[in-house]
Amino acid sequence: MHLTLFANPVCSIPGYRHFIVNSIAGLRALDNYVITDEERIEDASFGNRFRGLNEYMKWHITDYSDEPNADQHKFNLDVDIYRLQRCFERNSPSILIQSLFRGYKSRNFFKFYFKQRTSNALYIQKNVRGWLQRKRFMKDLKDLLAYTGDEDLLLSTEEIKRRDNARIIFRNMYRYW
C-alpha cells in the first residue's frame, strides 16, 4: 500500500520512482507522496494539480509505534488507508473524468423522467388554478346577484322547478290552516 525508500541507494537511480510505481500495481503512495495517474502513464501531463510530488499529494505518515494495543493500531491504519484513498480519488484525473461522465449519463437517463414530472406538475397547477379562479368568480357572481336581488339566475332548471313546487305547497298548506 505505502512504501518509503528514503536513504535507500535505489533513490539515486534516475527514474526509480516511475519504475517502482509501475512495478507494484497496488502501491498507493511512495516516499510520502500519493501516486498519481500521471506517474503511472508514461509521458502523460494532466496539469500541475495532478502531478506527482506536489503539495496536493503530500502524505504525512503518523508513527503508531507507541499505540497501547493492536486494535487501536489496526484502526489507525484503516483510517490512514481510507484517507490515502480519498486523497488519491480527489487528485486523480481519470476518476474525475469518470465521475463527470457518470453524472452526464445519469442526467441523460433521468431527463425524460424529469421532463414528464415537470409537465405533470404544470398540468396539476393549471387545473388547480383554473378551479380556484372559477370558484372565486362564482363567489363574486353570487355576491353581485345577492346585492341586486337576482339570485334566481344561478339556479338550474331542476332547482327552479323544486323551488316553484315548494312555493305552491307552502301556499296551499297555509290555506288549510
User: With the C-alpha atoms ordered 33, 34, 35, 37, is the resulting torsion angle positive or negative?
Assistant: negative
Determine the pLDDT at residue 130.
96
Residues 66 and 104 in one domain: no
Cell of 158: 331542476
Query: Rounded to whole angstroms, what are the CA distances from 24 to 109, 168, 173?
Result: 38, 105, 108
d(CA 88, CA 83): 9
| Residues 124, 144 share a domain | yes
Please say which residue of 47, 70, 91 terminates a domain. 91
Average pLDDT over residues 119-137: 95
Q: How far is CA 5 from the centre of its chain?
A: 43
Could you tell me which of 34, 26, 47 has the C-alpha nearest to residue 4? 34
Same domain, 57 and 80: yes
pLDDT digits (tens, 9 = 90+) for 10-47: 777 777 777 787 788 788 788 877 777 667 766 555 56
Total domains, the chain: 2
Query: Domain of 25?
Result: 2-91
Q: Look up residue 85 and give its three cell numbers.
A: 484513498
